[in-house]
């Protein structure tokens, strides 16, 4: 279905996690934020995750970067596609593409993958387990969308790519620069470049699986248990058949599990820390030395802007009163009063303008120092 005007409430009600939507260029003036040569340059760097997919008829090959610059000059006339993950961590103008989609909570954001394809290039018919907005940046791409798939959907035999064995499209569109295609989880889709110099920005939103949550939450709970925390039955009474596991024993055993596993407050703190762990920790802003408190006060007094590490993840959970629990890069910080307001501001945007009155708050100074020292924040210094 095509949406001629991007109405957020309408989109969330009718399309989010329900059905695909085509959004024709909603920008006042679309400007492609990244040149193909810049993308190729990123694919040559060690700290960028990149892939190169080449097609030869019905055969697909996948190679992982980093690539030598000469690799691209040696590619033949067969269709090929270059994909680079987390380009938003390297290019601020690409990171800015996420801003129009922040009606979706930040904790759901994964990254912005950018692809470049020659005429006929693509990654093949497939389905993903996450929501994605496919924003056409340069050139044209033909997208075909099919029905929902699941783990039982047949795939082609391929060691590296999860390509659908059969693909019957139900909708088809050609996207021009600035157009957006939203694809919910599980829907089959296939994008093919129409002409050379085709660039697409894939703004992806993660969703943890039930098995992932259970496994990691259980590991967390078990790590914090004491060996002597064991089953006890001081009110034991003789039973008719010693082979029976009684209902009272089962209730007590089940209660031992439920008491720990269903602790919502403990789960909330764990999930905030777990969900904020960096996906790409190599973008390291950690200083060689801890920030000096005098320098910290001077920077705050000068109202020097604070910038978030593009690889860092910030989120918070409201607690009682005016308190919040802040999560940054796998760590949690209890914040109250003006420090809670600071924490919310840090989560709201990539750049924060601090006020000089923070210099009078020991709690705020401690928080900022901790975040700077762990490489999650940095003051914006003039060259």
Q: Are 41 and 189 part of one and the same domain? A: yes
Q: Are 308 and 189 part of one and the same domain? A: no
Query: How many residues are present in the chain?
Result: 383
Mean pLDDT value across residues 260-272:
95
Angle (CA) 234-240-244 rounded to 5° is 75
Mean pLDDT value across residues 242-264:
95
Q: Are 258 and 118 part of one and the same domain? A: no
Q: Are 182 and 41 part of one and the same domain? A: yes
The reply to whether 172 falls in a domain is yes
Residues in a beta bridge with 8: none
Mean pLDDT value across residues 330-337:
96
Q: Are 137 and 30 part of one and the same domain? A: yes
Is residue 305 within 8 Å of 380, Cβ to Cβ? yes
- Would you state the pLDDT for residue 1? 47
- Would you state the pLDDT for residue 382? 58
Q: Name the residue range of residue 62's domain.
A: 2-205
The reply to whether 339 falls in a domain is yes
User: Which two three-digit tokens encode residue 144?
Assistant: 């075909």
Q: Are 74 and 179 part of one and the same domain? A: yes
- Which of the four pLDDT bands, split at 50, 70 and 90, describes residue 284? confident
- Would you state the pLDDT for residue 57? 81
Q: Which residue has the higher pLDDT, 283 or 255?
A: 255
- The tens digit of pLDDT for each residue in 35-81 reads 999 999 999 999 999 999 999 888 889 999 999 989 988 887 899 99
Q: Are 180 and 89 part of one and the same domain? A: yes
Mean pLDDT value across residues 108-124:
96
Q: Are 24 and 106 part of one and the same domain? A: yes
Indicate the number of domains in the chain: 3
User: Which two three-digit tokens encode residue 158?
Assistant: 């391929």
Q: Are 218 and 104 part of one and the same domain? A: no
- Would you state the pLDDT for residue 133? 98
The reply to whether 236 falls in a domain is no
- Above 80 in pLDDT, residue 156? yes
The reply to whether 39 falls in a domain is yes
- Would you state the pLDDT for residue 261? 94
Q: Are 254 and 332 part of one and the same domain? A: no
The reply to whether 371 falls in a domain is yes
Mean pLDDT value across residues 333-337:
95
Task: List the CATH number of the domain containing 347.
Answer: 3.40.366.30
The torsion of the CA quartet 178, 31, 278, 116, rounded to 10 degrees, works out to: 70
- How far separated are the first and last CA of the chain, in Å rounded? 49
Q: Are 212 and 314 part of one and the same domain? A: no
- Would you state the pLDDT for residue 5? 61
- Above 80 in pLDDT, residue 186? yes
| Helix count and strand count (H, E) for the chain | 10, 16
Report the Cα 54 to chain-centroid distance in Å. Answer: 27
Contacting residues for 87 by C-beta, under 8 A, at least 6 apart: 34, 39, 42, 48, 94, 111, 112, 113, 114, 201
Helix, strand, coil % in the chain, rounded to nearest 5: 30, 25, 45
Mean pLDDT value across residues 354-377:
95
Q: Which residue has the higher pLDDT, 349 or 88?
A: 88
Mean pLDDT value across residues 243-258:
95
């Amino acid at each position: 279905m095509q949406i001629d005007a991007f109405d957020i409430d309408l989109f969330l009600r009718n399309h989010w996690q329900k059905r695909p939507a085509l959004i024709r260029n909603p920008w006042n003036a679309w400007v492609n934020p990244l040149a193909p040569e810049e993308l190729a340059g990123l694919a040559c760097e060690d700290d960028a995750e990149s892939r190169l997919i080449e097609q030869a008829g019905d055969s697909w090959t996948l190679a992982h970067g980093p690539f030598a610059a000469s690799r691209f000059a040696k590619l033949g006339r067969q269709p090929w596609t270059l994909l680079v993950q987390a380009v938003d961590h390297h290019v601020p103008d690409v990171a800015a593409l996420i801003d129009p989609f922040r009606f979706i909570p930040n904790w759901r954001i994964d990254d912005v993958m950018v692809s470049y394809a020659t005429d006929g290039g693509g990654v093949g018919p497939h389905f993903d387990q996450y929501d994605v907005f496919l924003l056409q940046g340069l050139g044209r791409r033909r997208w075909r969308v099919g029905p929902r798939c699941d783990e039982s959907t047949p795939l082609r035999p391929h060691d590296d790519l999860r390509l659908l064995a059969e693909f019957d499209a139900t909708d088809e569109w050609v996207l021009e620069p600035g157009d957006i295609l939203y694809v919910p989880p599980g829907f089959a889709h296939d994008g093919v470049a129409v002409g050379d110099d085709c660039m697409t920005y894939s703004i992806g939103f993660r969703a943890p699986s039930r098995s992932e949550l259970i496994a990691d939450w259980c590991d967390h709970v078990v790590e914090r248990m004491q060996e002597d925390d064991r089953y006890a039955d001081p009110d034991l009474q003789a039973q008719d058949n010693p082979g029976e596991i009684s209902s009272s024993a089962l209730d007590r055993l089940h209660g031992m599990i439920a008491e720990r596993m269903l602790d919502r407050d403990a789960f909330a703190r764990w999930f905030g820390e777990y969900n904020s762990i960096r996906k790409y920790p190599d973008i390291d802003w950690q200083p060689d030395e801890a920030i000096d408190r005098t320098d910290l006060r001077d920077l705050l007094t000068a109202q020097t802007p604070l910038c978030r590490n593009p690889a860092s993840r910030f989120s918070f959970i409201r607690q009682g009163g005016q308190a919040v629990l802040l999560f940054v890069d796998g760590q949690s910080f209890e914040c109250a009063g003006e420090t809670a307001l600071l924490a919310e501001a840090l989560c709201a945007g990539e750049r924060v303008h601090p006020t000089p009155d923070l210099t009078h708050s020991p709690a705020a100074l401690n928080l900022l120092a901790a975040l700077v020292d762990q490489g999650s924040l940095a003051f914006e210094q003039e060259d």
